[in-house]
Amino acid sequence: MTETRNCQNCKQDFRIEPEDFAFYEKIKVPAPTFCPQCRLVRRLAWLKGFRLYKRACDLCKKEKISMYRPEAPYTIYCNDCWWSDKWDPCDYARDYDFSKAFFQQFDELLHRVPLRGIAIDTMSGELSPYTNHVGFSKGCYLIFFSGYNEDSEVGFYLTRNKSVLDCSVIMECENCYDSMNGFQNYQVHGSRGNVRGSTDCYFIKDSAHVAYCFGSANLNNKKYVFFNEQLSKEDYERRMSEIDLGSYKTYQEMKARSEKVWKNSVPRPYHELNSESSTGNYFFQCKNCTECYDCAGCEDSKYLLLIKGGPVRDCYDYGDWGDGAERVYEGITVGGGVMDVRFSQDIIHGSNNMEYSKSCMTSSNLFGCVSLRSKDYYIFNKKYPKEEFEELRKKIIDHMMSSPYIDAQGKSYQYGEFFPMQLSPHEYNDTFAHMFSPLSKEEASRKELKWIDDALLEYATTKKAHELPDHIRDASDAILQDVIQCEICPRGYRVSKQELNFLRKHNLPLPRQCPFCRIEAKVQQWVLQMTLVDRTCDKCGNELRTHYTKEDAPVMYCKECYLEAFV
């Protein structure tokens, strides 16, 4: 039976369907007291943004790149030290104190146990050190939440790509630039929105299996289309010979002209491929999935976000990763053959039966643990015999229900709720929560959330962005020594040798914005794609859901009318 509840956070009503209750019963957790959107934001408050800092490792004392500010009150180890056997997380074990709320005690443990400064594996730590939340990557620089990439720079959510620059949310692409939402593309530059299987194109959108096309939208199996005009091979090549995209001025002019073409075209209402009985946006090879966004290979799941690849089965309220996850509930950055993980963050590599834990791997039967590896039957990093573990776990759950944690706003956190946002080790305005639910500093302060004021620091620069040569052919290797003033923010940035070689090879101009502004601009577009609004099809009059507002796309078709018109 469907039940309507009032969210204790936003005070809006939300529905719990019979299949939801069946899932909660199967994994033995109480039904939520927060609505789906508030649950999402609460998890995302634990998902770090893109700022990186220099901080001395608390073990080897060497200055390394870290996601934590130097003054953040946590014990932070560099990647090499955290993965080493030079320390033992069990040295920080503590007994459970029934006179304190569980979340208060977990926060105390979180401040003591060493955390890894950068969330990357040992391979990426050696071959791609200036990254975060990255695995199995080499020759990469300033990419985030990505895996299995090679020789790629400046991007977010990249999966199995080679030699891509300034791209975000793309998979299995090569030699691509300034693009997002792409799949299996080669030498596609400046594209936006659902481009797949395409080669040698510029500024295309909502297109599949096209080649040698420029400034167009809604193309399928086409060649030699120029601003949505079909040309002969000879005429297309003549038009292209008149455009020199190595010039920054020309690149920006062509980009602006293409955006006008895109806006005057009817966009695809939402994006899915080879999926069945599923809802959301940008979901691929999914079955029986509800409200799932940027997900691939998922089945029988609900409220998923950023699942890079399956199989993922029977999961709710879960974001970031995948890769063999089953029965994950209220989890963020969880994946790699995991099973039965609840209310946890950064749980990886064959872990199962984990609750309220962070940064643990290849472990089982953990409750309230931090930074454990290859452990079984631990509570607060302390080992227990199986029978004692199960008995104490039950007592802690009863204690969480009878003596809940109460946050600054009076919200109650019993067993079944994810970690409170106040306990996140990251500043709210440097998390994905702020991207999806922005707060002012004053609002964050009232909620007792962490905040960072020195987000943009002044740097000593040697050149202004407008002083860069307009054309890439005029950029000598001397540019590698310059610190360039970003045209948007106070940051200074450098052009890397790999980046310069890529731009020269593809005749593309030097960037005028720092890497972080370039990433954040695409992430802002991505966030808009993760929320659907109600529209009416301008062709058949049927109701539909899409991420395009009336301002973004004046004319909108439902999926059926779109396919009839353009595919």
Report residue 321 as tokens: 């990763």
Q: What is the mean pLDDT of residues 292-297?
A: 96
> Is the model's pLDDT at 321 over the cut of 60?
yes
Peptide bond connecting 311 to the previous residue in cis, omega within 30 degrees of 0 = yes
Beta strand pairing status for 492-493 and 484-485? antiparallel
Q: Which residue(s) pair with 105 in the sheet?
A: none
> Tokens 């500010």 map to which residue?
69
pLDDT band at 124 (very low <50, low <70, confident <90, very high): confident
Report residue 269 as tokens: 């209402």
In whole angstroms, what is the distance from residue 473 CA to residue 465 CA?
A: 17
Helix axis angle for 102-112 and 386-402, nearest 10°, is 120
Residue whose C-alpha is closest to residue 109's, from 395, 371, 347? 371
Q: Which residue(s) pair with 219 in the sheet?
A: none
> Tokens 């631990």 map to which residue?
378
- What percentage of residues in the chain have a pLDDT greater than 90? 95
pLDDT band at 454 (very low <50, low <70, confident <90, very high): low
> Is the model's pLDDT at 350 over the cut of 70?
yes
> Tokens 């962490």 map to which residue?
450
pLDDT in tens, 470-500: 999 999 999 999 999 999 998 999 999 999 9
Q: Which DSSP symbol is given to 370? A: B
pLDDT in tens, 56-88: 999 999 999 999 999 999 999 999 999 999 999
Q: CB under 8 Å to 498, separation ≥6 — which residues?
A: 139, 141, 151, 153
Q: Which residue(s) pair with 281 in the sheet?
A: 293
Q: What is the mean pLDDT of residues 215-231?
A: 98
> Which sign does the torsion angle of CA 317, 333, 145, 489 carry?
positive
- The neighbour count for residue 23, using CB atoms within 10 Å, is 20
For the chain, the average pLDDT equals: 96
Cα 345 to Cα 116, 188, 368, 369: the distances in Å are 13, 35, 11, 11
Q: Which residue(s) pair with 471 in the sheet?
A: 247
For 102, the 3-state DSSP assignment is helix
> Is the model's pLDDT at 346 over the cut of 60?
yes
Give the per-residue pLDDT at 127: 86
Give the per-residue pLDDT at 457: 59
pLDDT in tens, 363-384: 999 999 999 999 999 999 999 9
Q: What is the mean pLDDT of residues 206-218?
A: 98
pLDDT band at 126 (very low <50, low <70, confident <90, very high): confident
Beta strand pairing status for 405-406 and 412-413? antiparallel
Q: Which amino acid is at 471?
A: H
> Is the model's pLDDT at 456 over the cut of 70?
no
Residue whose C-alpha is closest to residue 24's, from 314, 335, 440? 314
- The neighbour count for residue 391, using CB atoms within 10 Å, is 12
Q: Which residue(s) pair with 214 in the sheet?
A: 202, 226
Which secondary-structure segment (H or E) carries 332? strand 325-335
> Tokens 């950055």 map to which residue?
333
- 320 φ/ψ sector (left φ>0, alpha ψ -120 to 50, else beta): left
CB 450 within 8 A of CB 427: yes
In whole angstroms, what is the distance from residue 177 CA to residue 291 CA?
A: 30
Q: Which DSSP symbol is given to 475? A: -
Report residue 382 as tokens: 């302390």
pLDDT in tens, 404-419: 999 989 999 999 999 9
> Is the model's pLDDT at 265 over the cut of 90?
yes
Report residue 481 as tokens: 């020594």
pLDDT in tens, 282-293: 999 999 999 999
Q: Where are the beta strands (DSSP E) in 9-117?
A: 13-16, 53-56, 63-66, 76-77, 115-116
CB 378 within 8 A of CB 390: no
pLDDT in tens, 457-472: 567 899 999 999 999 9
Q: How many residues are present in the chain?
A: 567
pLDDT in tens, 244-254: 999 999 999 99
